[in-house]
Amino acid sequence: MSIKRISIDEFLETKQNLIILDVRSPLEFDHAHIPNAVNTPLFTNEERKIVGTLYKQEGKHAAIKTGLGFFGVKMKHYVENVESIYKINSTKKILVHCWRGGMRSAAIAWLLDLYGFEVRVLNRGYKEYRTWSLCQFEKSYNFKILGGFTGSSKTELLAEIKKNNNATIDLEFLANHKGSAFGGIGQPNQPSQEMFENLLAKELYQNSMHSNKPIWIEDESQRIGRVNLPHSLWKQIRKSPLYFIDIPFEKRAAYILQQYGTLNIDLLITATERISKRLGPNETKICINYLKENKITEAIKILLSYYDKGYVKAMNQRETLQEQLTTISSPTFNPIQNIKLLKNYL
């Protein structure tokens, strides 16, 4: 059998039929990787550090000899591990990559080819994929932005839009964060900035590759927890049509109570303290006292008023807001009801 090297374009065309093996170290993989890749490292973190240092100080041959010493004893186990992965995906071919498509991927590709797997190697490795990811943020997209004050059930409405066969990207899902000071409570750890960008690039590509249908996304700040939307993409989003779901304050307060009312009070207090400078000392004190007294609805109303003011300020900073803005009044936060109001714009 022969090992075939493929370009990033070939990879994108065939990736659904590939088992993607990332042979970089666990630390490299954990920082960021190609979505859906499986980490099957050639070296541990410590071994990679030793080999890398030898390469710089003594040259290629010394590094290879030491690397062979580390990997030689693990070859049987490595093949068995890949074999177990392959059995679950037996209709797929194997793609191997490292950082630059160099010695690590070449070594693993040789071993797996020798064993009998049909192997592909990604040209220039993860570095090439990363370059491709960043390029996705410079393209033009047909966005429609779903807006609304906090508590408007925008995420659930976005899910209904997707169910109705429309293209959507859930930024909060990709970021593992709901966007406010309270948005990380109960969420998994956020991805690194680089990993968030890789996930977002994949969504942009998949939602735009077959048609020019609008892509619906929720109106967000540029910063979502600890990650940021790429600036060029953010600028494009801010110039896209905004569909503002206008739901009464009391209804939104009831929705927020459903979402946050059962959460740990200490976590809610900590989140409130994080916005104390902007909320103001008096409002912060009152809000925290309400939380301590389990008067959650009263605390929510203070916080909602704060976030409403911030949203209005951010919305007014949009270029050509009047040309962009469509306001859709609704008496409820029920997404099934609200999608009926959005039908004309889908």
Task: Dig out the tokens for 90 from the structure.
Answer: 């037996």
Alpha helices in the chain (DSSP H): 8-14, 26-31, 45-58, 60-72, 75-88, 103-115, 125-136, 154-163, 171-175, 193-208, 231-238, 249-260, 265-274, 276-279, 281-292, 296-316, 321-324, 335-342
CA distance 235 to 221: 11
Task: Dig out the tokens for 4 from the structure.
Answer: 């075939």
C-alpha 9 chain-centroid distance? 22
SS3 31: helix
Residue 31 and residue 123 in contact, taking contact as beta carbons nearer than 8 Å: no
Which of the residues 98, 146, 169, 233 is marked catalytic? 98
Residue 98 known to be catalytic: yes
CA distance 95 to 4: 9
With a CB cutoff of 8 Å and minimum separation 6, the contacts of 279 are 272, 287, 302, 303, 306
Structure-token match 């059962």, residue found? 262
Q: Name the residues annotated as catalytic.
A: 98
